[in-house]
Structure 1
Amino acid sequence: MNLFNTIKKDQEYWLVDQVKDESVLDQEYIEAFSSLLEEWREKQIGYLSLLMDARYEEWLLNQGFRKVSTIVEYTRELNGDFTAESGISVEALADGGMADSDFAELYEQCRSGSANKNNLFTIEQVMESLENELGAEWRESCFVFRKSGVPIGLSIPIIEQGTVDEGRLFYFGVMPEWRGKGYGAALHRISLHLLKGIGATTYVGSTDEANHHMIGIFKRNGCVLRDRKGIYRIDR
C-alpha cells in the first residue's frame, strides 16, 4: 500500500500527502516517511511540503519541519441533484472564450484575500503546475463561471490521483467582489455537478481551519467533516 502521495517538481519541491488508513501502525508511517525524507535530502530538493496527522507533530518538528497551519477535510457522496443556479453560465477554458493569460489573472484575483495560509506558489508556478499535474488537456478541466457575462469565479474539478472515483477540486475560488452574496455555495454546487459528470462518486474538499467561509460552503452543500491534518514544511 502506498502510504504517501507525492508530487515532485524537478529540484524545486515535493508535495507529500499522508494516505490515512486505520489499519496501518504509526511506526509504519514513520518508517515510510523517514525513507522518503532521506531520499529528499539526498537529492537536495528545494523544499518539502507535507500534509500529515497532527499526532506526528512532535516527531516532525524534531526532524526539522516547521508547522504552517492545519487543514480540515470535508466529504459527501455525489448522489444528489446539483441544480445549477439560474443566471450563472459555465464554460471550459478549452472552449476558447478566455485566453490563458486572462484565466491566470482571474485565478490570481480569486485567491487574493484568502484565509488559506499555505499559499506556496506564484501564479506563474500555478499555471505551470496545471499542465504538469493535469496533462496536456488541462484546459478541459478548468471552468469559468459568469454572471451576466462577467467572470465571477472558477473551478478545476479532477479525479484524485491514485483513485478512480474520488472527486477533488484542484482549485475553487470566487472573485472578491462577489463574495458574501451566496454565490460561493452556488458555484460550489455547480462544481459538484461537474465532478459527477467526470465520474466522481464521492467528493473530498479541504481548506485551512481558519477559512470559516469555505467551511460554511461545505456545510451548506451537505459535506461533513472527515479529517484534520497539519501542514508542515522543511527547506533545504
Structure 2
Amino acid sequence: MNQLLPLEKIVNHSFKILNGLPDYINIEEKHTEREDEPSLENKIASIINFANARKVNRIGAIIQKSSNNYQLLTRLLKKYKFEFYASRIEVQRDLHDIEKVPYSFEWRSIGSRTISEEDFKTLWSRCMTGSANAASTLSIDEHLSSVKSELGTGWEHSCLAVFIDGEAAGISIPHLEPGTAEEGRIFYFGLIPEQRGKGISAEIHYQSLRILREKGASYYVGSTHESNLGMQAVFWKNGCMLKGHVESYYRTVKM
C-alpha cells in the first residue's frame, strides 16, 4: 500500500513527493502557476502533519526561483521553520545521442558484490570531503538509507564505484526516477580528493549517462549547487542545457 497516497491527493497539483519513509520525505515544486496563499499554506501544513503523525525525521523542500509562487513559498517555508540549505542549478539532456563508447574505467557495484556496502559508504564519505557543494546535514548512513528508500527494490545495482588501475576514484548512482519510465537522474556523483583536477570527471559523468540510457532513460535531469563551478563545467562539456534555478530547504521534525 502506498502510504503517501492520502497526502499526494492533497498536494499533487503543486508538489511531487519523494518517498523516503520512514526517515524522511522530500517535496519538489511541480509547476509555476500562481496559487493563493491559503491553498499553499494548507498543503505545507498537511505535509508537516503527515510527517509528525509518522514520526518522520526530516522534510526536504525544493522550490523554483522562476515560480510565480517563489516569494510566497519562501515566506511560508520560513514560517513553518524550514531552514535554507542551498541554491542550485538544474540541467537537462536528451540521451538518444549518447555514444556507446567502450567503458574506460572499472565499474563495481554493491549489487554485483564487487564492492561491499561498507566500502561503498567509506568511498562515498571520501567523495564528500572538500566538495564544492554545501556540507550535507546528513550522515553517510542516512544518505545510503535515502537511496534505499527512494529507489526501492534493486537500489544496490545503482550504487556504482569507479576504479582506475585498481584504485578507487569515485562513485556514481545513476537511476530511473521513481514514478517515471524515462527520466534518468544521478543520486550522487563525486570523486575522492586525490582524483580531482585530473580531467576525468566529464568522462565518468558521460559514462554514467550511458548507463542511464542502458537502463531505459530517454533524458537526464541533473543538479548541482551554484557554488560548484567544476560540476557545472562537466554538465556543459557533456551537452547538458540549463533547465532552471532552484532553492532547497529542510525541516527537522523530531530531534
Residue from 47, 52, 72 that aligns with 1:36: 47
Identity of aligned residues (%): 28
- 1:131-173: CA deviations, max 9, x gaps? 3332342221122222112121211111112211000001111
**From 39, 60, 66, the counterpart of 2:83:** 66
Quote the residue 2:245 is aligned against: 228
Within a 5 Å distance, the mapping from 1:167-206 to structure 2 comes to: 167-206=184-223
Q: Does 1:94 align with 2:105?
A: no
- With 135-144 and 70-79 compared, the bigger mean Cα shift is at 135-144
> Is contact 1:7–1:16 with CA below 8 Å preserved after alignment?
no
1:71-125 Cα deviation digits (max 9, x unpaired) = 1111110022345477422233322222221111111111211122261321122
| Residues 85 and 186 in structure 1, CA contact (< 8 A), matched pair in contact too | no
2:19 matched to which residue of 1? 7
Q: Secondary structure at the match of 1:133?
A: helix
Kindly indicate whether residue 64 of structure 2 is the aligned counterpart of residue 47 of structure 1.
Answer: no
- Alpha carbons of 1:142 and 1:170: their partners in 2 closer, same or farther (altered >3 Å)? same
Please say if 1:158 is aligned against 2:169. no
Q: Hey, what's the Cα distance between the residues in 2 that align with 1:189 and 1:51? A: 26
Deviation of 1:44 after TM superposition, in Å, equals 5.0
Q: State the AA in 2 paired with 1:90.
A: W
Q: Indicate conservation of the 8 Å contact 2:17/2:25, yes or no.
A: no
Letter of the structure 2 residue corresponding to residue 126 of structure 1: H
Matched, 1:26 2:35: yes
Question: Partners of 1:107 and 1:195 in 2: how far apart?
Answer: 20
- Which consecutive unaligned segments of at least 5 residues does structure 2 have? 1-11
| Alignment TM-score, normalising by the size of structure 2 | 0.81
Q: How many residues align?
A: 233
Retained in 2: the 8 A contact 1:73–1:205?
A: yes
